[in-house]
Amino acid sequence: MKKSWTKEMENKLSAWVTVAVTITLCVVVIGMVGTLLAAILDPFIANEPILAIIAPAFNMIIGGFIGLITGIHMAQGENNESK
């Protein structure tokens, strides 16, 4: 028996995707901050090249994930308005 796509299923899927993206973002940010702290606290590693590499990557990852989460919620709002 084939189930039809319902609004409840769509809301659950949206919630699961949002949770998965949020958990992934947290893991990535914790990893990047841990790496940055380890590099800054190590006296044998120069800090300037590390900061030059990590700062743009950090901004890109944060912006990308926030854009994805925002896009999911905006699409969900548009679907609610059209029905």
pLDDT tens digits along 42-76: 888 888 887 888 788 888 888 888 888 888 777 77
Helices 7-41/47-82 angle, 10° precision: 170
The DSSP element (H or E) to which 24 belongs, if any, is helix 7-41
Q: φ and ψ at 59, to 5 degrees?
A: -60, -40
pLDDT top residue among 27 and 70: 27
In contact, 65 and 21? CB cutoff 8 Å = yes
Q: How many C-beta atoms lie closer than 10 Å to residue 22's C-beta?
A: 13
